[in-house]
A and B are shown apart, each in its own frame.
Chain A
Amino acid sequence: MWYYEKKLQYPVRVGICNPKMAKFLIEQYGGADGELAAALRYLNQRYTIPSRVMGLLNDIGTEEFAHLEMIATMVYKLTKDATPEQLKEAGLGEHYVDHGKSVYYHNAAGQKFDMPIQSKGDPIADLYEDIAAEEKARSTYQWIINISDDPLINDSLGFLREREIIHSQRFREAVELLKEEQNKKKVF
């Protein structure tokens, strides 16, 4: 089960009224390498991973939901005061017709979230998948920072990018734990 803290993991501030940014950010909400996919992937993989790294998947999967919340906040702030005309100009016309001002789980190209989740049941395969997913999410944040001219949004995105680095580091350590050669004298 979970406890909920009624605050964001890191403050989200949006400085520039630019609904187009919402269209890019939605990639991290409902995209294949986004925060929802990450959360569901890790929490699902927990069951078939050796118990010594199960807790890591649990913790990181939970944190991804906190990231999802930050992205949703950014998207909502960027769209809630936009007129239908402005949303259309931002490439969000289809989104508006289908979902109104609601945020929704689809990617920047408008493809709905269709369970793009890897789970092989092989601990090494799954952890390597997770390392790759963290590096992909890190790059997505870099590309969004490159395309954004809002220093306040970029500050929050920089925080999220750093978390991807830490998660990648921890998954790499999990692989080392499962290799079980850590601090052992190797005798061949």
Chain B
Amino acid sequence: MATSRKWYSPYVSPMDPCPPLSPVSYETPVQLYLGFQPRGMEQFSPFEALAHGTLWPGLYTPYTNPYLLKKRGIDTNG
């Protein structure tokens, strides 16, 4: 199963005016990998489908604010 978020670290210059916000994330949701949806994929119940925004667990790719993760990291370090 492919991960839906990737991280990379852009170059940090000693001359940069602000502290680096590295690493930087970007999203790679499931539709990039699935191809044509195969027959017979598992389904949510109607109520769960509404809550998830899709009938298909295999197409559900939730999102969370990546900066919150980093903020927590900085808080625990500081």
Contact = CB atoms under 8 A, between A and B. Distances in A.
- Interface residues of A: mostly helix, strand, loop or mixed? helix
A150 B7 CA distance: 26
B53 A145 contact: no
B34 to A, nearest CB: 6
A69 to B, nearest CB: 16
Contacts of A158: 53, 62-63
A182 B37 CA distance: 12
Interface in A150-179: 158-163, 165-166, 168-169, 172-173, 176
B57 to A, nearest CB: 12
B50 to A, nearest CB: 7
A47 interface: no
Number of chain B interface residues as a range:
20 to 34
Contacts of A10: 50, 53
Contacts, number: 52
A51 interface: no
Contacts of B53: 10, 158-163, 166
A142 interface: yes
A22 B60 CA distance: 27
A162 B62 contact: yes
A88 to B, nearest CB: 28
A158 B60 CA distance: 11
Interface of B: 27, 29-31, 34-37, 50, 52-54, 59-63, 65-67
30 contacts: A10-B50, A138-B29, A139-B27, A142-B63, A145-B63, A145-B65, A146-B67, A158-B53, A158-B62, A159-B53, A161-B53, A161-B63, A162-B52, A162-B60, A162-B61, A162-B62, A163-B54, A165-B59, A166-B54, A166-B59, A168-B29, A168-B31, A169-B30, A169-B31, A169-B37, A169-B59, A172-B31, A173-B36, A173-B37, A182-B36
Interface of A: 10, 138-139, 141-142, 145-146, 158-163, 165-166, 168-169, 172-173, 176, 182
